[in-house]
Amino acid sequence: MRIGFIGLGIMGRPMAKNLLRAGYSLVVYDKTAPVSDVLSLGAEGAASNREVASRCDIIITMLPNSPDVYEAVLGVDGIAFGARDGSILVDMSSIAPAVSRAISGELQTRGVAMLDAPVSGGQPKAVDGTLAIMVGGDPAVFESVRPILEKMGSSVTLIGPVGSGNTAKLANQIIVALNIAAISEAFVLSTRAGLDPEVVFTAIKDGLAGSTVMNVKVPSILDGNFEPGFRIQLHIKDLVNAVDTAHDLGVPVPLTDHVLETLRELEREGLGAADHSAIIRYYEELAHTEVRRRHP
């Protein structure tokens, strides 16, 4: 089976490599990112999205945002114009649910099925192949590609029809963002009160306040390491999609609105490419307090 993979950025590159290591044949394309290291592992290159689709029965996309996916699928030399009847598009990007549904509708007229299958876990879990994958689409189509998805994720869940995967991802991103903001407030408070933040972390991480987010992000915060596992600018994109979707549904999301504005302020300060754990920098500046590991 030959799989197309479009989008070899910070997430797509390790995901594609995991498929190659699992023995799948890949045809890859990215209009900006280099692909040489993926080609060196045995992938074949292509010159366009259309060419990838024409050479594969299953096409995976991992792109930054809704307009990028729309262009890759329905734009000039897009996937839709190369895909054969019976092909499957698995869009693993995190985009607006309404856009997923619109693209799926266009593909259906061409005999192409679609799943939206966004992921959670950031670059470390993309590398390890332990992503959480949330899928929307037809159950039979889902079952046909499940073995492929399981090479990239340790949790693969069908949520509902197309668009459901991205709706679940928006819920995920709200929880992650608010969790980091809560961690930031709590650790700035305790540090300003004179406590050692590393000791506070040890004391609370296994209690009710503990979370995967805390366990992953606090050690990096203590080291002052804000190298991106998931960039602030990408979390802004996700929360904008979440707020827009919430407004369309008439659902109030005041906490999400607040954290979105915090992220935008950090982006204005030049931290858009930093990891989203840099949310703590906002609270550190307000309190004139840094939460860092204390060395003897």
pLDDT band of 118, cuts 50, 70, 90:
very high
Which helix (H) or strand (E) segment is 159 a member of? strand 153-160
Residues in the chain: 296
pLDDT value for 122: 86
CB atoms closer than 10 angstroms to residue 189: 15
29-66 per-position pLDDT tens digit: 999 999 999 999 999 999 999 999 999 999 999 999 99
- pLDDT at res. 67: 96
Query: So what's the pLDDT on residue 253?
Result: 98
Measured in whole angstroms, the distance separating CA 23 from the mean position of its chain's CA atoms is: 24
Catalytic annotation present for 169: yes
Helices and strands of the chain, counted as H and E runs = 13, 9
The gap between the terminal CA atoms of the chain, to the nearest Å, is 56
> Residue 114 forms beta bridges with which residues?
89
Mean of the per-residue pLDDT values of the chain? 97
Q: Kindly list the structural domains of the chain, giving each domain's residue range(s) and its CATH number in brackets, ordered by start.
A: 2-160 (3.40.50.720), 167-287 (1.10.1040.10)
Q: Which of the residues 17, 169, 217, 237 is marked catalytic?
A: 169
C-beta of residue 61 within 8 angstroms of C-beta of residue 73 = yes
Give how far Cα 196 sits from Cα of 125, 200, 226, 283, 287, Å.
Answer: 29, 6, 20, 17, 16
**Which region, left, alpha or beta, applies to residue 291 given φ > 0 means left and ψ of -120 to 50 means alpha?**
beta
Does residue 296 surpass a pLDDT of 90?
no
Q: What is the largest CA-CA distance in the chain?
A: 66
Tell me what percent of the chain is helix, strand and coil, each rounded to the nearest 5.
Answer: 55, 15, 30
